[in-house]
Amino acid sequence: NAGVMQNPRHLVRRRGQEARLRCSPMKGHSHVYWYRQLPEEGLKFMVYLQKENIIDESGMPKERFSAEFPKEGPSILRIQQVVRGDSAAYFCASSRSQGGLAKNIQYFGAGTRLSVL
Amino acid sequence: SQQGEEDPQALSIQEGENATMNCSYKTSINNLQWYRQNSGRGLVHLILIRSNEREKHSGRLRVTLDTSKKSSSLLITASRAADTASYFCATVVFSGGGADGLTFGKGTHLIIQP
């Protein structure tokens, strides 16, 4: 029973390039969350998606960042025209679709560490 | 500003001692959770306590919640070297739309000295 899979684990981009981060949720999970973590900081919520829908993107920067969770395939966090300040660890988490508190326990992937040169 | 604030920021104790970490938050919550993060890894869920609960145990972990003070504590008893990690509290505020994003504090970095 594979956990949340993120790839790549490390991504290096030059300023102005695009970064695409992928996340496959745990089997049976239909809720996906993306978080960003700066060094020595806690995780900051970015966006919450269900299949084909963005439910809450209140933590997403207004420009250059987008996320999707298509009907088939992994969730993608896309950062266009990256800048040095985008360097961080990006974590994806998933949770189950059943009701109750089970939805609130999120299972995290190992993260993608983005370095912008 | 942070919803959750852990304290202390760093804690170093001897193996076998107990470790206590605290978390304060600002808004009303539905539940509060504690997560552990080993260096360079993702977060692992440890324990969830609901807003109507005051104390919860799981193995060597004991969590308390005081909603009147908007604070929680995590106690790890009989610490082991493998407990060395960063510990985060996270709060859930239901907005009616279902499972919401977690709001994390900055974490407590715990070091267990052998």
Which pLDDT score is estimated for B2?
Answer: 43
Question: Is B92 in contact with A4 (Cβ distance < 8 A)?
Answer: no
Distance (Å, whole) CA A48 – CA B62: 30
Integer Rg of chain B from CA: 14
Partner residue opposite A43 with nearest CB, options B50, B99, B104: B104
Which of B44, B92, B100 is the best residue to mutate to test the A interface, defined by the most A CB atoms within 10 Å of its own CB? B100
Q: Which residue has the tokens 């988490």?
A: A93
Q: What are the pLDDT digits (tens) for B79-108?
A: 999 999 999 999 887 655 555 678 888 899
8 Å CB contact of B48 and A110? no
Q: What is the pLDDT of residues A44-91, one digit of tens each?
A: 999 999 888 998 898 999 999 999 999 899 999 999 999 999 999 999
- What distance lies between CA A82 and its chain's CA centroid? 16
* A4-54 confidence digits (pLDDT tens): 999 999 999 999 999 999 999 998 888 899 999 988 778 899 999 988 899
In whole angstroms, what is the distance from residue B54 CA to residue A16 CA?
50
Q: How far is CA B9 from CA A16, B13, B92, B111, in A?
A: 35, 14, 22, 11
Q: How confident is the model at residue A105 (pLDDT cuts 50, 70, 90)?
A: confident
In chain A, what residues touch B99 (CB-CB under 8 Å)?
Answer: 31, 48, 95, 103-104, 106
Residues 45-64 of B with CB under 8 A from A: 45, 48, 50
Closest CA to B103 of A44, A41, A40: A44
Q: How far is CA A62 from CA A65, A66, A73, A115, B42, in A?
A: 7, 9, 25, 21, 26
Whether B70 has a pLDDT exceeding 50, the answer reads: yes
Chain B nearest-CA distance from A67, in A, is: 15
Q: What is the pLDDT of residue B1?
A: 37
User: Tell me: the pLDDT tens digits for B14-58?
Assistant: 999 999 999 999 888 888 999 999 987 889 999 999 999 999 999
Whether B97 sits inside 8 A of A43 (CB atoms) is no
- Pick the residue of A33, A106, A107 with the most B CBs within 10 A to test the interface with B by mutation: A106
Examine the pLDDT at B3 and tell me if it is beyond 80: no
A83 to chain B, closest Cα gap in Å: 22
